[in-house]
Amino acid sequence: MEALKKISDVLWEIPLNRKNGMRVPARIYASEKLLRGMEGAVFEQITNVACLPGIVNFALCMPDGHSGYGFPIGGAAAFDPETGIISPGGIGFDINCGMRLLRTSLTEEEVRPRLEELVDGLFRRIPTGTGSGGLVSVTRDEFRELIEEGMAWCRRKGYATSRDLERTEEGGRMDRADATTVSERAIERGYKQNGSLGSGNHYLEVQVARAENVHDGRLARTFGLDRPNQVVVMIHCGSRGFGHQVAQDYLMKFLGVMGGKYGIRVNDRQLACAPFASEEGRAYFSAMQCAVNMAFVNRQLIIHGVREVFCDVFGKTERELGLEQIYDVTHNTAKLETHVVGGKERPLLVHRKGATRAFAPGMPGLPAEYRETGQPVIIGGSMETGSYLLAGSSGGAETFFTTAHGSGRVMGRRQAKKKFDGRELARRMRERGIVVRCASYSGLAEEAGAAYKNIDEVVRTADAASLSRRVAKLIPIGTIKG
């Protein structure tokens, strides 16, 4: 920490001279408390990112930053599309791991009496955990269509409304997705997993926006949170085995060409990359977009299942229950975006790994209804402490409109498993009014609230740094996990 230059109470800089090869300084958005909690590996990894060819302005680390592989989790960096690279290690294996938030017109008081039945129904309906299969079966050829079309495929098949698409980042479809850039192995690994949650930190939660937790009533109302103790559903998952295989395939491909063909050296092999303006770079960009689309579809099919379960349990229609999507955000992507650098607009390839895009009010790419509010940002906390809905703000220009994505771990998984007993944890959560259904109690123990950073501190820091504005904290009352 001694080597860090304090820019403000929530911003720190690692200067160029900290490591040989750094092309730009690294900047870490964190309160002093969050900074002290970050492992040394975070600083090592973010300065490795700062060494990559074509990086623009800064290598960035969000307030929830923690050590990952290649980029730290919570890492973001923009690259010049002509001179810069694209790296699977800057996106993550779980391409388009992301969050979706669905609102209901129900209040906590209306849901409580049916909560057990509701959570049971969700756990039965939504595949979770290892070897789980998916909600919707498709052939390999249909899967190729699905990964090129994204949520447009869901609308065509009756699993999504046009409004669902509008309220999803990129309209739920990346238009450079090309199934011919994806291996047969990736198709084989993922085509049976459409509409499945997975495990680890992935979850589906029933949450409540309590009146005392609404930070900005006007924004909350625009996002459809307009009654006290309103119930919402939050989903966290990604592109499953398909996305993991796409990342693995291209990581190996890039390792083969990075040094010999392109003369690029990296400090960590997990940062293997290729020039974006190369045959291999563009092929990965197209394949990665297929995985982004698959993850959009995955979350859409889960939402479709959630809507069915709510209708069954409450005996009402989707419209009567107000089951409207608020927004869907991606965490692990690289996207071509236009940003202002040095007073001039220029195209940039923005990598976000465990970081959320947070477009400010008025920016292109936002649906009309959110043009004045800025993009809804969904930040998932631990299953015990709660999550947040935020909105993008103009201060985000410093980070290419990027903010935090979660709370970030403070305890290793195995350490958490030794410290907490999954069944005991579920019992304690139930006493506190949170109904839990999970495929794995040991997996549940890994996700104990105490294994994560304080989400309030992360979100407060993102707000103080003007990366995003707090709208409402959402408290879990029901959770299903793999």
Partner 1 sequence: MPYLFRDDITRADVAFEASGRNREELFVSAWQALLDVMIEDGGPLEKRTMKTVDLENKSLELLLIAFLSEALFFKDSEGLLLSVDELSITETENIFRLRARLAGETYDRSRHEPGTDVKAVTLHHFRLERTAAGYSATVVLDV
Interaction site with partner 1 (CB under 8 A): 39, 66-70, 73, 92-94, 129-133, 185, 188-190, 192-193, 198-200, 240-241, 244-245, 247-248, 251-252, 255, 268-270, 272, 409-415, 439-440, 442-443, 446, 482
Distance CA 185, CA 187 (A): 5
The minimum distance between CB 252 and partner 1, in angstroms, equals: 7
Distance CA 481, CA 383 (A): 10
The minimum distance between CB 439 and partner 1, in angstroms, equals: 5
The minimum distance between CB 243 and partner 1, in angstroms, equals: 8
In single-letter form, the type of residue at position 171 comes to G
Residue 369's contacts (CB-CB under 8 Å, 6 or more residues apart) are: 222
Marked catalytic residue, from 66, 202, 331, 405: 405
User: What is the helix (H) or strand (E) element at residue 338, kind and residue range?
Assistant: strand 333-341
Residue (of 64, 70, 30, 28) closest to 49 by Cα position: 70
For residues 193 and 230, which CB has a smaller minimum distance to partner 1 in the complex?
193
For residues 41 and 340, which CB has a smaller minimum distance to partner 1 in the complex?
41
DSSP one-letter string for 363-417: -TTS-GGGTTT--EEEEB--TTT-EEEEEE-GGGGGGTSEE--B--BSS-HHHHH
For residues 73 and 425, which CB has a smaller minimum distance to partner 1 in the complex?
73
For residues 179 and 391, which CB has a smaller minimum distance to partner 1 in the complex?
179
Token readout for 115 is 């909560």
For residues 255 and 341, which CB has a smaller minimum distance to partner 1 in the complex?
255
**Whether the Cβ atoms of residue 267 and residue 51 lie closer than 8 Å to each other:** yes
**Whether the Cβ atoms of residue 106 and residue 84 lie closer than 8 Å to each other:** no
Whether 405 is catalytic = yes
Token readout for 18 is 């900290």
For residues 68 and 195, which CB has a smaller minimum distance to partner 1 in the complex?
68
**Whether the Cβ atoms of residue 348 and residue 55 lie closer than 8 Å to each other:** no
In single-letter form, the type of residue at position 265 comes to R
Q: How many angstroms separate the most distant Cα atoms in the chain? A: 64
**Whether the Cβ atoms of residue 418 and residue 436 lie closer than 8 Å to each other:** no
The minimum distance between CB 161 and partner 1, in angstroms, equals: 30
For residues 67 and 393, which CB has a smaller minimum distance to partner 1 in the complex?
67
CA distances from 231 to 95, 245, 416 (A): 29, 36, 30
For residues 205 and 446, which CB has a smaller minimum distance to partner 1 in the complex?
446
Token readout for 365 is 């790419």
Displacement of CA 129 from its chain's centroid (Å): 19
Distance CA 406, CA 215 (A): 18
DSSP state of 452: B
The minimum distance between CB 398 and partner 1, in angstroms, equals: 26
The minimum distance between CB 419 and partner 1, in angstroms, equals: 11
The minimum distance between CB 131 and partner 1, in angstroms, equals: 3
Residue (of 359, 371, 362, 343) closest to 400 by Cα position: 359
Distance CA 195, CA 302 (A): 5
Distance CA 69, CA 114 (A): 42
The minimum distance between CB 457 and partner 1, in angstroms, equals: 17
Distance CA 316, CA 345 (A): 49
CB atoms within 10 A of CB 17: 9
For residues 416 and 471, which CB has a smaller minimum distance to partner 1 in the complex?
416
Helix then strand then coil, in percent of the chain rounded to 5, is 40, 25, 35
Distance CA 366, CA 77 (A): 22
The minimum distance between CB 142 and partner 1, in angstroms, equals: 16
Active site residues: 405
